[in-house]
């Protein structure tokens, strides 16, 4: 289920955070309901790895995720995303969409509420396309700043 080539950074009941060998951070949600403190911990570790990794690239695998509650949506948009951008350097997000229709609808609400943030993200139905898009961002970043 999880690629063995990635380095595990953090894992709890809400999901896992890995440093992908391709040069981005990978957040994978697990199946089931989330307890707020556990979910917050998962995302705080994601922010810390983004800062440490330094490229600001995140793949979010939401395929097993259940819908965000209204409070989770609020916390994500008003607290975590702004902090992840400023403190973690989060700039590019590739979201592999949830299988659950209600989870996709909740994520659409988050997307609409977060559209003014300095963040570029794309939605994908499969992981391969998401990884390819993130690799293109790495290549573009490298060309822009190493020329």
pLDDT tens digit sequence for 95-104: 999 999 999 9
Assigned token pair, 67? 């819908």
pLDDT for the residue numbered 140: 73
pLDDT tens digit sequence for 8-54: 999 999 999 999 999 999 999 999 889 999 999 999 999 999 999 99
In a 3-state reduction of DSSP, which class is residue 10? strand
pLDDT for the residue numbered 5: 75
Least confident residue range of 43-57, 65-79, 80-94, 104-118: 104-118
pLDDT for the residue numbered 145: 56
pLDDT for the residue numbered 146: 58
pLDDT category of residue 4 using cuts at 50, 70 and 90? low
In a 3-state reduction of DSSP, which class is residue 3? coil
Q: Domains in the chain, ordered, with CATH?
A: 7-145 (3.30.750.24)
Strand positions, DSSP E, 21-141: 25-29, 57-61, 92-96, 120-124
pLDDT tens digit sequence for 80-91: 999 999 999 999
């Amino acid at each position: 289920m999880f690629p063995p080539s990635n380095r595990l950074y953090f894992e709890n009941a809400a999901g896992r955070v890995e440093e992908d060998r391709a040069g981005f951070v990978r957040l994978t949600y697990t199946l089931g309901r989330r307890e707020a403190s556990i979910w917050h911990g998962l995302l705080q570790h994601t922010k810390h790895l983004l800062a440490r990794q330094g490229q600001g690239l995140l793949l979010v695998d939401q395929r097993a995720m259940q819908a965000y509650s209204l409070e989770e949506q609020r916390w994500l948009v008003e607290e975590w995303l702004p902090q992840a951008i400023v403190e973690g350097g989060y700039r590019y997000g590739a979201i592999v969409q949830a299988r659950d229709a209600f989870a996709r609808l909740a994520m659409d609400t988050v997307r609409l509420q977060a559209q003014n943030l300095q963040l570029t993200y794309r939605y994908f139905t499969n992981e391969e396309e998401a990884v390819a898009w993130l690799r293109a961002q790495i290549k573009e970043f490298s060309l822009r700043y190493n020329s």
